[in-house]
Amino acid sequence: MNRLASTRRLSLIGIVALFTTSAFASEKSLQSIAKNEQVGLVIPYNLLKDRELDVPNYPVGELALTYLAGASLTRQTELNGVRVFYYDARYVVASQDRLRSAFESWVNTLAPQQHEVGRRRSWRLKDFPDSMTHEIVYEAADGATLREAISGQYGSVLMLGYEVQDGAGKLLYSWFGPTRTREPNREPVPQVYPDVPSGPPAGKGIPKGELNFGKGEVRTLRDFCLLAWAKFGRTLSIDRRLQDEEYFISGGFDFETFRQVIERINKTEPVFWYDPADRTPVMLGQATVLAHAERLEKELGSDWQSLIKGEFVSAPLVLPPDSRDREMKLLNLPEYRARVRVGIGLMHYVMRPVSRLNDPTKPLPPNEVSSFIVGWN
């Protein structure tokens, strides 16, 4: 019994130590980015404090700051050499829509061999147009480290959407997602990523000022304002709902820069109504569809070319008979009508070590992890 209690105690200590180390690593990573990119930072810390950002010891350039914005679900602006990251829900949603439209349009321009590279999950960031790379890194940052987002592998995935209606035209069911079978001949994801390419620093030098946070530290906005009071003899009033929120702050501030930073953070963005139906999807070109002809035939049968036109037909002609979705099975009847829509998604692939819960210091063999960057046409 004592041995069991001892084992549990050691496991708990190991897990607590893992999370403590992770939070500390996040702060050190942000210090590295501020130093490498020669900028001051003011960024919400809540979504970053338990993450391993995996930052190289040299500048990456603007993509590093784009990554931070994506990882913290914020938008950034530059104020006197300080990069300020602030919340803007409209921008976060618009970023997804911009990338989706750009990706759909880009896919339609690809030659057959380029489609094949995507199907094998071998696209790299350099394979995409410059206009898309920042949006891709922004979206990938939600679940990837900086090194993974910039040097990882990306791939295309065939998406199918099903809609079912009754005889009166009432919509009964809607579903979309990746096809059930895997892409053929997938490339293995490397366990060791190549070095992130270096670039000129994003900034022109770490800003200096009387209120100096040096290499960077985590402070609440209340602390930030109180320290400004102590240094300048004056400060600003902020929304009380924000005053206890933690920010990573680095570099130096004079009073004018401090004022602009606080005003930007304290500004409330208006609530907006988002309706995904407002976005008109880009129609997939014939070459793009034919690039996935083999998969479409496996999913929809030999009559797939007529079925993907988007017209409602008898449900059993469209819905997969072996679907694991119980609701789809119940609606797979001749009296119902259904249609299918085709899209191409973009996924990011990484290899991750797997830790044992009873001993985090002894990782298991790496496991493949994938996440959607663009999910639906």
DSSP for 268-322, written as a single string: PPPP----GGGSPPPPPPHHHHHHTHHHHHHHH-TTHHHHTT---EEHHHHS-TT
Name the residue with higher pLDDT: 164 or 322: 164
Q: State pLDDT tens for residues 247-266.
A: 999 999 999 999 999 999 99
Listed residues 266, 294, 318: the one ending a domain: 266
Domain residues for the domain of 10 are 2-89+199-266
Total structural domains within the chain? 2
Residue 66 is assigned to a structural domain of this protein: yes
Give residue 183's pLDDT.
63
pLDDT, position 219:
96
Cα(12)–Cα(10) distance, integer angstroms:
5
Tell me, yes or no, whether 28 and 104 share the same domain.
Answer: no
- Of 91, 69, 202, nearest to 141 (Cα)? 69
Question: What does the pLDDT average to over 341-357?
Answer: 85
Check whether residue 246 and residue 136 sit in a common domain. Answer: no
Lowest mean pLDDT among 133-147, 159-173, 338-352, 359-373: 359-373
The answer to whether residue 40 scores a pLDDT higher than 90 is yes
CA distances from 352 to 47, 273, 373 (A): 20, 37, 18
Q: For residue 272, is it within any domain?
A: no
pLDDT at residue 26 greater than cutoff 70: yes
Cα separation, 152 vs 149, in Å, equals: 6
Name the pLDDT band for 361 (thresholds 50, 70, 90): confident
pLDDT band at 45 (very low <50, low <70, confident <90, very high): very high
> What is the spatial distance between Cα 254 and Cα 163, in angstroms, rounded to a whole number?
58
Nearest 5°: the CA angle 126, 129, 130 is: 80
pLDDT surpassing 80 at residue 10:
no
| Mean pLDDT, rounded, of the chain | 86
Tokens 């001051």 belong to residue:
40
pTM of the model: 0.85
- 234 and 331 in a single domain? The answer is no
Would you state the pLDDT for residue 194?
75
Asked if the model's pLDDT at residue 61 lies above 80, the reply is yes
Per-residue confidence (pLDDT) for residue 115, from 0 to 100: 93
Residues 6+ apart with CB under 8 A from 35: 206, 215
Reduced 3-state DSSP string for 12-71: HHHHHHHHHHHHHHHHHHHHHHHHHHCCEEEEECCCCCCCCCCCCCCCCCHHHHHHHHHH
Tell me: pLDDT of 72 over 80: yes
Tens-digit pLDDT profile for residues 96-105: 888 998 998 9
**Confidence label for 209 from pLDDT (cuts 50, 70 and 90):** very high
Pick from 266, 298, 316: which residue ends a domain?
266
Same domain, 110 and 179: yes
Cα–Cα–Cα angle for 193, 197, 203, rounded to 5 degrees:
130
Please name which of 297, 276, 283 lies closest in space to residue 342, comparing C-alpha atoms: 283
Other Cβ atoms less than 10 A from the Cβ of 304: the count is 18
Q: Verify that 119 and 80 share a domain, yes or no.
A: no
Do 220 and 188 have their domain in common?
Answer: no
Q: Is the pLDDT of residue 7 over 70?
A: no
Asked if residue 351 and residue 317 are part of one domain, the reply reads yes
CA dist 252 and 214 (Å) reads 7
- Is residue 108 located within the same domain as residue 82? no
One domain, residues 203 and 190? no
pLDDT at 280: 66
Q: Which of 19-33, 72-86, 91-105, 279-293 has the lowest mean pLDDT?
A: 19-33
Q: How many CB atoms lie within 10 A of CB 367?
A: 10
pLDDT in tens, 324-339: 788 888 888 899 999 9
Q: Is the pLDDT of residue 167 over 90?
A: no
Q: Can you give the pLDDT at residue 200?
A: 93
pLDDT of residue 27: 94
Residue 4 predicted with pLDDT over 50: no
Q: Do 75 and 8 reside in the same domain of the chain?
A: yes
Which pLDDT belongs to residue 376? 62
Q: Per-residue confidence at 177, pLDDT binned at 50, 70, 90? A: confident
Same domain, 164 and 17: no
Alpha-carbon span 127 to 371, nearest angstrom: 19
Q: Which of 111-115, 181-185, 233-237, 239-243 has the lowest mean pLDDT?
A: 181-185
Residues 6+ apart with CB under 8 A from 103: 132, 344, 346, 374
Q: Do 9 and 107 reside in the same domain of the chain? A: no
Domain termination site, one of 239, 266, 293: 266
Q: Which residues pair with 352 in a beta bridge?
A: 367
What is the per-residue pLDDT for 8?
40
With pLDDT > 70 as the criterion, what percentage of the chain qualifies? 89
Q: Per-residue pLDDT averaged across 303-332, rounded? A: 87
The model's pLDDT over 123-159, given as tens digits with 9 standing for 90+, comes to 999 999 998 999 999 999 988 999 999 998 999 999 8
In sequence order, the β-bridge partners of residue 248 are: 43, 218
CA distance to 141, 142, 366, per residue, from 189 (Å):
18, 19, 11
